[in-house]
Amino acid sequence: MASDDIALLADALSKTHVGDGELSFKGLGLKLDDAQSVEELVRDIEQFRGLRALRLEGNTVGVEAARAIAKALEDKDQLQRCYWSDMFTGRLRSEIPTALRSLGSALMTAGARLTELDLSDNAFGPDGVKGVEQLLKSPSCHSLKELRLNNCGVGIGGGKILAEALIDCHRKSLAHESPLRLRVFIAGRNRLENEGASALAKAFQLMGSLEEVHMPQNGINHAGVMALASAMRHNPDLRVLNLNDNTFTKRGTIAMAQYNQVLSRITVTKLKQSLVTLDREEEYVDEGKKGKGPERDKVRRESGCVEREKTPPEWTPPQSLMPPPEVHLLGPRDKSQHCSAQYNSAAPLSGYCV
């Protein structure tokens, strides 16, 4: 490594953040190609006692550099949170699984018990999922609470691998009497489609512990939506479900409305740009009103979307905040038409075009 490069690296590492058990190299823009390029970074990791969180996002890590970092992690048994998003910019897709295997193997060797794993914005595809498959199946992930894989190009095949890994992790964790209780799952923009979503739905149903699920922009249509809706019935603590920009159609809309009936803690259901038409929005509202929960439902309509939020029953909005007599809508079927919906506090919203 040239002396100028070493100087630049030293300057970047001087901006490293340390505190609360967290060692952060976030956003330094380091190009870490080999063992020599990570010498100072590795030294910082090795000397950090009680390491609980490691942030490497916003840098680019090659295979040899990953192996050197992994070596430094092999005795970090207190590590719980790995923020490793946007970590392979400019790397060949074939390099990424090898780098991930090295890092995952180090965590398993250390006996770390992860609670958060963020690998978002790494375009690693199905092969990248294979790179973390063994880690996800290992005792190091029996304690996992939050898994973020947003914008990774996982695809149908990767979705199936991920689902099987989570199912295997849950099965093994049950045998150890410490069942996997994943609370947050984020996997937007991954082209999961119906097969990937349906495979993950099986894992969600088994875990039954989810509180937030974000899967927007995945090319899921009614078959996948119905599988997810069925799985969510087994997750009674679910508060947020984000399926924006998928294709519901009538069957998917009704299935999702029915799932809302049985979940008492749901606060936000996001279905923006999911081809929920005006008539289907009304069916969503009608089905949702059949639930027995004490909450008052607030439904906000936009072009091709329903966003449903529950307001706690003890809060009653003052008259000044009540909806106006007429709410203007723009339906998704013909955006040139001006649609309007009459508000009636005692009945579901109804729509007509003018």
Q: Is residue 354 part of a domain?
A: no
pLDDT at 4: 54
- pTM value is 0.78
Could you tell me the residue range of the domain that residue 148 belongs to? 53-321
Is residue 120 within 8 A of residue 149, CB to CB? The reply is yes
Report the range of poorest mean pLDDT among 56-60, 95-99, 326-330: 326-330
pLDDT at 22: 98
- Average pLDDT for 192-212: 98
pLDDT tens, position by position, 24-41:
999 999 999 999 999 999
pLDDT at 237: 95
pLDDT tens, position by position, 149-176:
999 999 999 999 999 999 999 999 999 9
Confidence of residue 258 (pLDDT cuts 50, 70, 90): confident
Q: Is residue 217 part of a domain?
A: yes
Of the two residues 287 and 151, the one the predictor is more confident about is 151
Q: Is residue 312 part of a domain?
A: yes
How many structural domains does the chain have?
1
Confidence of residue 241 (pLDDT cuts 50, 70, 90): very high
Of the two residues 289 and 131, the one the predictor is more confident about is 131
Tokens of 310: 């529950």
Whether 78 shows a pLDDT value over 90: the answer reads yes
Whether 297 shows a pLDDT value over 80: the answer reads no
DSSP-assigned beta bridge partners for residue 326: 342
Distance CA 296, CA 313 (A): 6
pLDDT at 160: 99
Distance CA 174, CA 316 (A): 44
Q: Is residue 189 part of a domain?
A: yes
Q: Considering the chain, what is the average pLDDT of its residues? A: 81
Confidence of residue 301 (pLDDT cuts 50, 70, 90): very low
pLDDT tens, position by position, 302-321:
334 444 544 444 444 445 44
Q: Is residue 190 part of a domain?
A: yes
pLDDT over 70, % of the chain: 72
Q: Is residue 34 part of a domain?
A: no
Q: Is residue 135 part of a domain?
A: yes
Confidence of residue 12 (pLDDT cuts 50, 70, 90): low
Is residue 338 within 8 A of residue 328, CB to CB? The reply is yes
Q: Is residue 182 part of a domain?
A: yes
Q: What is the CATH number of the domain that holds 72?
A: 3.80.10.10
